[in-house]
């Protein structure tokens, strides 16, 4: 069957759904009904969702949960988390409660600098290009005045522009490398608008530069785009306490636990196969808060993983040490976030999440997000080095298995009672359900 379609974007929402249902499903009406079941009953909210992206046919729900009791710099927060993976929210909440009685989380924003680049080709004398750039630099600022005016009122704007010679990497390749401060907005549109004006100014001014030959005047701009790698937009989060204060239900020997914990982190620092999974756990916490607050988790992921590779090998984002009887666990990560603009002013649940966090600034949100990641990592490493990761995770996953097999209430009571004393695995639960139903 040929399922190609012409003019799909011009079809109404109903027409799009009808075409998809007919083209791909053996029971079209069931597919149509399923898609419509996930529409919001409030037409205004549904229209809002329809217009977030193109060719919208329905909403794809992800649970929004909360992790309370996060003591951050002496102040309690309840953190919203949008995620589908079981045990993530529970683990974050458990770590938050653990550290709330041991001094809480301490955070510091080290820098908030963001980066954008104009990538261009120049076939000529690099020294002449450098002289041209120095002469023209003020014009780049002047020509973007209308773009930066409002940002400057908020204390942001263009911090600097430098010329970078990349010809050792690619022949004739140069950059205008610009740094920005965007205050409470993530700033992608602002940065890209500035960069496109830089590119225009670059080409126009080159045509009038007397020292350039005819071929040198013909600067070829390849692209103008912000970078999601922000190694100078860094936040630090940490926890620490005397080793003996680590004692709790699953930590009978605090010294042994602390040493094993540090060893686990050291393994992630030197072994990339472990580091990837280690950092994925950190991102469970980070992505969930980034998504709940209407920020771009793909950009955050890309930037953080690049940062984890900055020394030439992919490595752990978090670190741990024991010094003078004190256990310390910390992390420094790049985070470019916003609390104004984009979805933050459009999505009702994003607005609710930000209000739950008491309307944080971008700097405050950086700290909250970093703490969620560190808490998640602590919870995972505590499980790995004590009871093992599967015990708690599979018990949380039990509900998903029960839902998959549409267990009724009587079955659920018996199954939960049985698996209080038996190891939870998918096959074990399925076997038990099948025996029950016999």
Which of 181, 205, 296, 364 is catalytic? The answer is 296
Active site residue 278: no
Residue 292 Cα distances to 42, 170, 286, 288, 289, angstroms: 20, 40, 10, 6, 5
CA–CA separation, 193 and 144 (whole Å): 9
Active site residue 280: yes
Residue 415 Cα distances to 361, 396, 435, angstroms: 46, 13, 11
Which of 16, 278, 393, 397 is catalytic? The answer is 393
Cα 193–chain centre separation: 23
User: Which residues are paired to 71 by β-bridges?
Assistant: 76
118 membership: H or E segment, kind and range: strand 114-121
CA–CA separation, 58 and 172 (whole Å): 48
Exposure on the CB side of residue 18, measured as CA atoms within 13 A:
5
Active site residue 153: no
Residue of 292, 299, 296, 295 whose CA lies nearest to 355: 292
CA–CA separation, 114 and 362 (whole Å): 13
Which of 203, 280, 351, 418 is catalytic? The answer is 280
Output the CA torsion sign for 179, 182, 187, 191: negative
315 close to 333: Cβ distance less than 8 angstroms: no
| Count helices and strands in the chain by DSSP H and E runs | 16, 10
Which of 13, 49, 50, 85 is catalytic? The answer is 85
Residues catalogued as catalytic: 85, 280, 296, 393
């Amino acid at each position: 069957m040929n399922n190609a379609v012409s003019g799909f974007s011009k079809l109404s929402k109903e027409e799009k759904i009808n075409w998809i249902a007919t083209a791909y499903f053996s029971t079209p009406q069931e597919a149509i009904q399923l898609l419509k079941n996930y529409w919001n009953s409030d037409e205004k909210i549904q229209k809002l969702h329809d217009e977030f992206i193109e060719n919208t046919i329905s909403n794809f729900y992800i649970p929004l949960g909360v992790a309370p009791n996060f003591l951050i710099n002496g102040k309690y927060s309840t953190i919203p988390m949008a995620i589908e993976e079981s045990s993530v929210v529970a683990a974050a909440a458990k770590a938050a409660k653990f550290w709330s009685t041991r001094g809480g989380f301490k955070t510091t924003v080290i820098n908030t600098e963001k980066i954008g680049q104009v990538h261009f080709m120049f076939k000529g004398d690099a020294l002449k290009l450098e002289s041209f750039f120095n002469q023209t630099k003020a014009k780049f600022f002047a020509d973007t005045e209308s773009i930066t005016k409002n940002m400057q009122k908020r204390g942001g704007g263009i911090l600097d522009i430098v010329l970078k010679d990349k010809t050792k990497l690619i022949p004739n390749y140069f950059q205008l490398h610009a740094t920005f401060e965007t205050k409470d907005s993530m700033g992608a549109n602002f940065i890209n608008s500035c960069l496109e004006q830089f590119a225009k100014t670059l080409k126009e001014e080159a045509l009038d530069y007397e020292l350039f030959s005819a071929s040198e005047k013909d600067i070829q701009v390849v692209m103008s785009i912000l970078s999601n790698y922000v190694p100078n937009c860094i936040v630090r989060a940490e926890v620490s306490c005397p080793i003996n204060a680590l004692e709790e239900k699953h930590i009978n020997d605090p010294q042994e636990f602390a040493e094993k914990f540090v060893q686990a982190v050291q393994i992630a620092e030197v072994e990339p196969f472990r580091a990837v999974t280690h950092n994925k756990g950190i991102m469970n916490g980070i992505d969930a808060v980034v998504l709940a607050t209407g920020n771009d988790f793909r950009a955050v992921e890309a930037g953080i993983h690049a940062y984890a590779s900055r020394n030439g090998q992919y490595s752990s984002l978090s670190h741990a040490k024991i010094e003078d009887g004190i256990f310390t666990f910390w992390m420094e990560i790049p985070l470019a976030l916003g609390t104004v603009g984009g979805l933050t002013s459009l999505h009702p649940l994003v607005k609710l999440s930000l209000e739950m966090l008491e309307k944080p600034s971008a700097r405050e949100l950086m700290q909250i997000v970093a703490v969620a990641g560190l808490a998640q990592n602590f919870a995972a490493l505590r499980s790995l080095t004590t009871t093992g990761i599967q015990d708690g995770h599979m018990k949380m996953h039990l509900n998903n298995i029960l839902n998959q097999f549409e267990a009724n209430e009587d079955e659920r009571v018996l199954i939960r009672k049985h698996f209080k004393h038996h190891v939870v695995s998918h096959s074990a639960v399925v076997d038990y359900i099948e025996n029950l139903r016999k």
